[in-house]
Amino acid sequence: GIGCTIGSGVFVLAGLTANSYAGPGASISYLFAGLVAAANGLPYAELSAVMPLDGSTYEYAYVSLGEIFAVMASLCQTLEYGGSAAAVARSWGEKFVDWLKGDEFSENDDLLVESALPQWAESLLEPGYGINPMAAIIASICTYLLLWGVKESKFATNLISTIKISLIAFMIIGGFVLSSGVVPDDENNPRPASFS
């Protein structure tokens, strides 16, 4: 559902892509990607209308293609969930460590403010060699939440998804307000809208 669709990359990757690679055309490419994702859901909607069964991908593949393809589809989905969970945990871990350090960078990647963490804590959280201990801690917390119960994990998913969608709506509305020229630069001179 939406909890799996909106990952932490939506906040970082969209800005990085728009800033470094695509510019204003990024919004058009995201629109096309959203249309493709919506079209991808149509076969599942059709299958669920024809075969109202539980089991998601495994059940649909089993009924339409046979058991061997159903097992292959479920193994691929398990691999997908493992890979995406590892990527999200790593992303959350890096962002959490950056938040703890309090590093601030300028537009040309010059360090403005030094780390607020003591040296021993920084070496513990970032040992190097691509190792991210905070990702393992976050993955363990998420696993414990899933093992705690369906009701509790569903509540956490709904809460986090609501926060993420609210943040995205805030950024969209804020972008429209700032680009419209309504917000003044100072008290006397409203800033004109420009698209340069």
What 3-state class would DSSP assign to 104? strand
Residue 190 has pLDDT above 60, yes or no: no
More confident residue, 53 or 37: 37
CA 137-116-16 angle, to 5 degrees, is 70
Give the number of other CB atoms < 10 A from CB of residue 57.
Answer: 15
Rounded-to-integer distance, Cα 42 and Cα 74, Å = 20
- 8: exposed, middle or buried (C-beta count within 10 Å: 0-12, 13-18, 19+)? middle
Span 52-106, pLDDT tens digits: 777 677 888 888 889 999 999 989 988 988 888 888 888 888 888 888 877 665 5
How much is the pLDDT for 103? 63
The mean pLDDT of 8-27, rounded to a whole number, is 72
Reported pTM: 0.60
How much is the pLDDT for 68? 94
Please answer whether residues 24 and 18 qualify as being in contact, where contact means their C-beta atoms are separated by less than 8 angstroms: yes
More confident residue, 39 or 14: 39
Rounded-to-integer distance, Cα 44 and Cα 81, Å = 18
